[in-house]
Structure 1
Amino acid sequence: MARTVQQLFDLSGKTALVTGGSRGLGLQMAQALGEAGARIMLSSRKAEDLEQAVAELQAAGIDARWIAADCAREDDIQRLASETLQRMGDVDILVNNAGATWGAPAEDHPLAAWDKVMNLNVRGYFLLSQAIAKHSMIPRRGGRIINVASIAGLAGNPFEMKTIAYNTSKGAVLNFTRALAGEWGVYGICVNAICPGFFKTKMTTVLIETLSEEKMATHAPLRRLGDDEDLKGITLLYASEAGKHITGQWLAVDGGVSAILGG
């Protein structure tokens, strides 16, 4: 007999590792997974932020822990993977969310800033996915990897944005998602991406400096920015048995911005 909707979306007994999880979109995604029953390991660079985020999750009845790590550093990534597996056991769900941006005209964009964005937004995703899959998902022939991309990876810079490295990195994340899904499908691993639009997070600071939140909202057909609930549904779909036949895909959660930009 087919499972019920409630059974398909239930993550009880599952373990999730969420990078960049101490605030913003990462914390929202962690909340969604935890509310569905998963145990959560949060990671970001700052221990103080992680302590506060984990306290918030625990107050909501979610089993949550943390490890401070810089996902732009290979040694930190390997330590994060190893310690997570040691403390939590196998990882069923990996959310690659840690990211960086940099605002500068393309002709003047510093090379060091370009490398910083690429190391975290692309190389970091690859290294952590590799470590978790090799030591947990592939041997068990199953798992979910959710990569946070952006509508900035779907087309050129809209409006007054000058974020060439960020756009390039997020375009790379989309093809990384498709390529990994094609290669690891044989192991039962589903790999998908989410493309957030304009949310009230640190990552939109570059644009907010030139456009007010109200003006930003007018560019979306739904006439608002993303809020602290808007990623929960797609995160749970990708992570759960409800999404077991979805892989190599991306979905824009952007109030319709990419639709009118032709993304």
Structure 2
Amino acid sequence: MIHYSKQLILACFTCCSLLLCRAQAIIPGAEIMEMVQLAESYRSAKNLSFNVAIKYTDSLDTGAVIEEMTAAYKLHSGNYYTYIDSTEIVQGGRYSLRVNHTDSVIAIGNRQTYPDVMNIPVTDTLYWKTFILGRTATQINDSTRNLKITFKPGALYSSYEVRYNFRRYRMEQVKVYMPADLPGTDPDLFPSGKALITFTFSGYDTSALDAGWFSEDRYILYQDGQFQPKAPYTGYFIETNITQ
């Protein structure tokens, strides 16, 4: 179960493979545009670092933690670096890499428009059209807002909540609720019938970042028409998922 929960948490990060109304209430129906604006603030961020604490629990018994881990993010002008559970996710100027040190695999894919920060495909209009059931925006105080999206059966999540500072467009917490009967899960662990993954953001820092964080050349080289792993990753299996 522990191995599966880690896979599920990492899958949330892959989903994304992230209204100019900073001091105003959101116009009803514009909640998705607000989420796109939030994702855009991370995509365009320069020299932004932060941490995310992740907990996997039952939706009601949040004190009984089934799995937990921490992710570290570094973002700069569309490039990003993430470290989570022995996996490095790196996007530079050419590719998006997923370096799994547990399985010794380097997966190479196309660059992504948004970093995997929001854990939901915010710009996938077909996803929203197919699965969205409802949406609400709640003003918590003069700088904090909560957006909640509920989904139809068939979506990975049953609901998604994000609490964020709407003056700076920085997330504070994300909660994703999922049906407990997903393949590979033990329903007995989730008396409420729903699993909950909570992402808590902290340590926002805008100190200058070294460009080396976003360099694909630290991991791979292209030689004789093929990608090869570079030392110290010699022996890692290369998985190429680049599409034209």
Q: TM-score, normalised by structure 2?
A: 0.30
Q: Which has the higher helix share?
A: 1
Instruction: Please say which structure displays the higher CA radius of gyration.
Output: 2
